[in-house]
A and B are shown apart, each in its own frame.
Chain A
Amino acid sequence: MTPTVLSIRNLTKHYGSGGTRFDALKGITLDIQEGESIAIVGKSGSGKSTLMHILALLDAPSGGELSVDGTDAATLRGKRLNLLRNRTFGFVFQQFFLTPNATVLENVMLPLKIARIGSRQRKRRALAALEQLDLADKARNRAVNLSGGQKQRVVIARALVNDPRIIFADEPTGNLDSATGATVEDILFSLNKERGITLVIVTHDDDLAARCDRRIYLRDGLMVDAVDVHAPAMHVTSTAVVGA
């Protein structure tokens, strides 16, 4: 059985309190296995982004349990939390979040810089990541001068550069035309297949979701459906249940 990397039990999240209280997640239970690709699908306001943020340890849940590699996330603080974020996770955002006036290379090197890796090795690894995404020739260009597809590829290179185990992608193709979007999807899925990187994609695009091993449908903070597309024998999906 493939090890479970992320596991949540009866997870809730609410914002505000009293009359302005808003429940974003009303109890989600989910296990994510190493190496699988999973799509979290839902309309805006369904809580799918909130779920991803909590899975990526960017946000703290209001209730329930979250464990990473069997470690309770609530016990992760300070240095250990930062180390985990830096080493384990890669992020691909719809809005790219590139530093516009910095070069492509500098943008890609950022996670390595945070990881306190020396400048020579930093450069070598960032160039290798850009090479992989056919962007080596753009390394010296400023991020602001790139097209949308190029930007998203830079973002993927940045997510990839520190050899993460899990890549979180928030609407990775949302800002791209369908042809460019398809290229970006291909890149993400090839990373999943070839390097075994776990892929957690948040999207409202059914076509993108259909390419994932598993789909989780959210509505109003509740899991309403779970579909195992390929139903591969190695993935155990029975743990995905409809939340209470």
Chain B
Amino acid sequence: MRALDILKTAIGNSFRSRLRTTLTVIAIFIGAFTLTITNGLGTGINQYIDTQVAAIGAPDVMTVTKPVVAADASTGPAKYDPEAASEVGSGRPGGASLEMTDADIDTIAAIDGITSVDKSVSVRPDYIEWKSEGKYVLGLGQFGAGITIDLAAGKQFTADTDALQVIIPTTYVETMGFSSNSAAVGQQVTIGITDALKQQTTVEATVVGVQNPSLLGSSATVNPALKDALYAAQSVGLPASSTTQYGSLIAHFDAKDSKAQVDAIKKHLVDAGYAGTTVADQIGTFQTVIDGIILVLNAFAIIALLAAGFGIINTLLMSVQERTREIGLMKAMGMSSGRIFGLFSTEAVFIGFLGSAIGSGVAILVGSVISRVLSNGLLKDLAGLRILSFDATSIATVFLLVMGIAFVASVLPASRAARQSPIDSLRYE
């Protein structure tokens, strides 16, 4: 029998006992449906996180801190050194770090692979105001050139500009008195900031864009020029030493660097007594948690599929039993055992294909509707989140997995059919 004939015959055979095939397909349907939905959930959330990540930090920067080197426990506490840098509480979680000076900036900039080093400074503005429409508390997110913000209106920051630019979250738009997201773009706003002498000064900036709400709260973002302007205004009256000490630094590297190259840079930093953390490192933990949850959900779906696998075994065993004489006849007519095996395993794989096709199809349909309803209702505040997204790879994986399970399930019944001796089958009543 040719492969195409086997396929056609197997498909024909699976429709011979419609009710039985339908019930088995339903069992697979449930598994495939669940698996597609859980996969869609993973894809949707991860896609959302990816857009969020782009807004948190550029892919070509790492935060550099100077961790405290733990003293050897057997020698007791280290001697206090008034000249040594003081510890700062901020920095990487799980370890205190030391303050860095301009000398550190030079050291880090000299490290192989690092293109430039920025000072990471903290800017705490008091308020933002537009045309005397009222002053509102302003929180600033992370700065950094090269970040891509998920915008509702307007444009990203202009690169290498001296113009003072700010991107505000959508939640600020109405509160501040703008009629719409796009109406806010291009407007001049006033940012108030208090310096070390408790004098409040203001800085004028242009709204270039409006940012969709993100997972990490709604905060405005300023461009490097505005950051510097605000830092200068905030630092008036501070002693020089405190403006030249930094809790962390921002090191830039080539965005085209491979992961191995980035790892090499990190190693150089460690060798020099620093620690570098990229945005991917910070977000990676987050995605690992999501992936873990999705894995558990997928495990449930796979359990459902395994149960369906036993359904396939049962269906095929009955099928083999029913067609004992036919198998005998085909063998008497010279059909090989291998092809008999192929006939039954193809039937199982086809049943698996039907189940996964219907399961995935319905899941995509239902998922798209649910996702749309949710993004207009319950998840309205998380703009851009499509809780269920389906990509071709994960759907293909579901298909292959289900058909694989179906094939494995077919091994027992199909080999039973293949092993039958023609004469015993023909004598069977």
Contact = CB atoms under 8 A, between A and B. Distances in A.
Mutual binders A and B: yes
B397 to A, nearest CB: 34
A84 B332 CA distance: 10
Most buried by B among A85, A89, A114: A114
B423 A78 contact: no
Interface in A81-114: 81-87, 89, 91, 93, 97, 99, 101-102, 110-111, 113-114
Given A59-B421, A113-B1, A114-B1, A97 B329 contact: yes
Given A81-B334, A91-B332, A111-B333, 8 more contacts: A53-B423, A85-B332, A85-B334, A93-B426, A111-B334, A113-B2, A113-B5, A114-B334
Contacts of A129: none
Contacts of A58: 332, 421-423, 426
A86 B333 contact: yes
Nearest to A52: B423
A97 B171 CA distance: 77
Interface in B330-359: 330-336, 339
A115 B333 CA distance: 9
27 contacts: A53-B423, A56-B332, A58-B421, A58-B426, A79-B336, A81-B334, A85-B332, A86-B333, A86-B335, A87-B334, A89-B332, A91-B329, A91-B332, A97-B326, A97-B328, A97-B329, A99-B326, A110-B330, A110-B333, A113-B9, A114-B333, A114-B334, A114-B335, A116-B1, A116-B2, A116-B5, A119-B5
B426 A84 contact: no
Contacts of B326: 97, 99
Interface string A71-83: 0000000110111
Nearest to B421: A59
Interface string A107-134: 0001101111001000000000000000
Contact of B333 (A59, A79, A91): A91
Nearest to A115: B334
B419 interface: no
Interface residues of A, number: 27
Interface residues of B, number: 22
A83 B333 CA distance: 9
Interface string B305-329: 0000000000000000000011011
A83 B336 CA distance: 9
Contacts of B9: 113
Contacts of B333: 85-86, 91, 110-111, 114
B426 A97 contact: yes
Interface in B252-276: none
Contacts of B421: 58-59
A242 B424 CA distance: 29
Contacts of B334: 81-87, 111, 114-115
B380 interface: no
B131 interface: no
Interface in B1-53: 1-2, 5, 9, 12, 16
B417 to A, nearest CB: 15
A86 B336 CA distance: 10
In order of increasing CB-CB distance, the 7 nearest A-B pairs are A86-B334, A85-B334, A82-B334, A58-B423, A59-B423, A114-B335, A111-B333
A101 B325 CA distance: 14
A113 B2 CA distance: 7
Contacts of B325: 97
A101 B423 contact: no
A114 to B, nearest CB: 5
A119 B8 CA distance: 12
A59 B422 CA distance: 8
A91 B329 CA distance: 9
Contacts of A85: 331-334
A58 B328 CA distance: 9
Interface in B383-429: 421-423, 426
A86 B423 CA distance: 15
A84 B423 CA distance: 16
Nearest to B15: A101
A34 to B, nearest CB: 20
B329 A82 contact: no
Given A78-B336, A79-B336, A97-B325, A114 B330 contact: yes
Contacts of A89: 332
A115 B330 CA distance: 11
Contacts of B426: 58, 93, 97
A167 to B, nearest CB: 13
A229 to B, nearest CB: 29
Contacts of B332: 56, 58, 85, 89, 91
A102 B189 CA distance: 81
Nearest to B334: A86
B323 to A, nearest CB: 9
Most buried by A among B328, B334, B336: B334
Contacts of A83: 334
Given A97-B325, A97-B326, A82 B335 contact: yes
Given A58-B423, A116-B1, A116-B2, A82 B16 contact: no
Nearest to A122: B5
A97 B325 CA distance: 7
A15 B360 CA distance: 52
A214 to B, nearest CB: 24
A100 B345 CA distance: 22
A116 to B, nearest CB: 5
Contact of A82 (B5, B12, B336): B336
A59 B331 CA distance: 11
A203 B12 CA distance: 36
Contacts of A111: 333-334
Contacts of A93: 426
Contacts of B16: 101
A100 B9 CA distance: 15
Nearest to A54: B423
